[in-house]
Amino acid sequence: MKTDFSKFEKNIGIIFKSKELLRQAFTHRSYLNEHRDTELVHNERLEFLGDAVLELIVTEYLYGKYPDSNEGELTAFRSALVNSDTLSNAAGKLEMNDFLLLSKGESKDIGRARQIILANAIEALIGAIFIDQGYETAKYFISNNIFNLIEKIIEEKTWIDAKSKFQEQAQDYESVTPLYKTLKEEGPDHDKKFTVGVFLGKTKVAEGEGKSKQEAEQIAADNALKAKGWIIN
C-alpha cells in the first residue's frame, strides 16, 4: 500500500506536480533493499541537490539580514542553521518521520541515526521542490521552516564554534588540549556517517555523530561542554 502524501503537501502548502518525485524524497536506501521489485529510487541524489540549494538560499538570507556581521560570523550562523541537528528538528516539526520509507531495521532505530536520516530527507525534499517548482518555491519552503530558527540559535549562542569553546574551557579548567579521534566510519562514500570521540588526556569525555568529520567533531565538542557543565558565554 502506497503512503498518501496529500496530508503532507497540505501541511507545507506545496502541491507537487510529480508525486513520484515527492515520494523519492522520502525513500531511504534501506527501503529499496527490502523492496527490490519497486520502481522507486532512493533520495541521495535529491539530497545532494537540496544541500546546495539550501546553502545558497540560507547564505542569501543571512547576508541580507545581518549586514554588520563579518564573513566568519555569517559562516558560523549558516553552519548552525543547516547542521543535522537543526534540520532534523525542522523535519520533526513537519512530521516527516511519519512519511519516511525505511527498512524494518531502520524503522526501529529512533536515536541519532534517525536524526541524520531526517536531516537528509529534508534536504532531499528541498531538492525535489527545486526540481518540481523552482527556486522561489524552494525559498518559500525554507523561509517558512528554517529561517525562523536563526533567532533562537543566536539567542542561545549555539552558533558559537563548540570546538573553540571546549578547547578554551579545557585549557582554563584542566590545562589540557582536547584530542579528537574518529571512532567509527560507516556508509558509502556519498553518504558517510562519522562517529568522533573527544578526549582530555586518555579520558573520553563525549562522542558526536555527523555527515562529515568536522560536523561530528563540533557535535562531540558540544556534548562535551554539556557533560562537563561548562557554560558557553
Residue 211: closest CA among 47, 22, 40, 34: 47
The residue annotated as part of the active site, out of 44, 123, 132, 222, is 123
Please state, in angstroms and as integers, the Cα–Cα distance from residue 160 to each residue in 87, 164, 181, 198, 216, following that order. Answer: 18, 8, 22, 18, 15
Alpha-carbon span 71 to 152, nearest angstrom: 20
Concerning whether 161 is annotated as a catalytic residue, the answer is no
Concerning whether 60 is annotated as a catalytic residue, the answer is no
8 A C-beta contact, residue 77 and residue 159:
yes
The residue annotated as part of the active site, out of 44, 47, 51, 132, is 51
106: its cell numbers: 531502520
Please state, in angstroms and as integers, the Cα–Cα distance from residue 51 to each residue in 6, 211, 230, following that order. Answer: 24, 12, 32
Residues involved in catalysis? 51, 123
